[in-house]
Amino acid sequence: MIDTIPQDGRYTNEKTDMQLKDDVIAELKYEPIVKVTDIGVLVKNGTVTLNRYVSSYVEKLEAVQAVKRIAGVKAIADDIEIQLPASYHRTDSDIAAAATNQINWATLIPPGTIQVTVREGLITLEGEVEGWFQKNVAANVVRHLLGVKGVSNRLSLTQPIRKSIELTVKPVEVERAIKSAFKRSAVVDANKIRVETSGSNVELFGNVRNLAEREEAERAAWAAPGVFSVDNQLTVKWFEFSQ
């Protein structure tokens, strides 16, 4: 590892690119959905590039999520392409019908609120929903469908509901709820994250240990009642203090 000296004078250990690559490959092997032989891994200055081909959109997603869990990864370039086996191919009409059914069967989403468009296996979701959780659910229920090559989530939040919540929810309550969620979390280090609120807008500042923690912090912020936008300014800064 490369020794560096932070501002407080204590030495830290930063992973080399070779160590990061070894960790990434090991984590991909550990993920049961991912075939590590399908994926190429390049690492430069802490940025991991994933390339080559996988056989499904789910495998692509899980590969990226696996890399986010690795300590020391600063950024990810997802250059993985999807090559569906012949048995996985579906027409855009079939995928659109299946996606619409999945969304209609999701009890958290009011019927008729989401428009589904499919082109060459890419699903686009448009319309207005009442909150972040519905937007998230809509994407989750369609991404595992056979033949899907990607999901573009363009759902927006209903303006009348947003205005009514802004009038009833105080920013200090939103901030308190988010900080409490961070403290309960086994993934997020609440002491290293600063939360600032302005109306229904939230900004996150500070350092996190990996991309998975950064993502979880944003998820927790979105889940707070009254939140309609999250500006995630968290920086990935992994290190270990030497003794």
Query: Each residue of 73-96: pLDDT tens digit?
Result: 999 999 999 999 999 999 999 999
Identify the band that residue 243 occupies on the pLDDT scale cut at 50, 70 and 90: very low
Give me the mean pLDDT over the 162-186 stretch: 79
Q: What is the mean pLDDT of the chain?
A: 87
- What is the phi/psi pair of residue 5, to 5°? -115, 115
Q: In the predicted model, what is the mean pLDDT of residues 172-198?
A: 91
Q: What is the pLDDT of residue 9?
A: 41
Task: Provide the pLDDT confidence category of residue 173 given band limits of 50, 70 and 90.
Answer: confident
Residue 158 confidence (pLDDT): 76
Q: Please check the confidence at residue 159 and state whether its pLDDT lies above 90.
A: no
Tell me the sheet residues that pair with 235: 207
Q: What is the four-CA torsion angle of 181, 186, 188, 192, rounded to 10 degrees?
A: 100
Distance of CA 13 to the CA centre of its chain: 27
Band of residue 168 on the pLDDT scale cut at 50, 70, 90: low
Phi/psi for 168 (5° steps) reads: -105, -25
Per-residue pLDDT tens over the stretch 22-79? 999 999 999 999 998 989 999 999 999 999 999 999 999 999 999 999 988 999 999 9
Share of the chain above pLDDT 90, in %: 67
Predicted pLDDT of residue 199:
79
User: Is residue 202's pLDDT more than 70?
Assistant: yes
pLDDT of amino acid 3:
34
Q: State the average pLDDT over residues 143-172.
A: 78
CA distance 215 to 121: 26
| pLDDT beyond 70 at 13 | no
Name which of 1, 58, 67 is nearest 40 in CA terms. 67
Domains in the chain with CATH codes: 2-82 (3.30.1340), 87-157 (3.30.1340), 161-241 (3.30.1340.30)
* CA distances from residue 158 to 41, 68, 124, 131 in whole angstroms, order as listed: 41, 31, 18, 8
| pLDDT bucket at 1, cuts 50 / 70 / 90 | very low
Question: What is the token pair recorded at 194?
Answer: 């600063």
Give the model's confidence band at 218: pLDDT under 50 very low, under 70 low, under 90 confident, else very high: very high
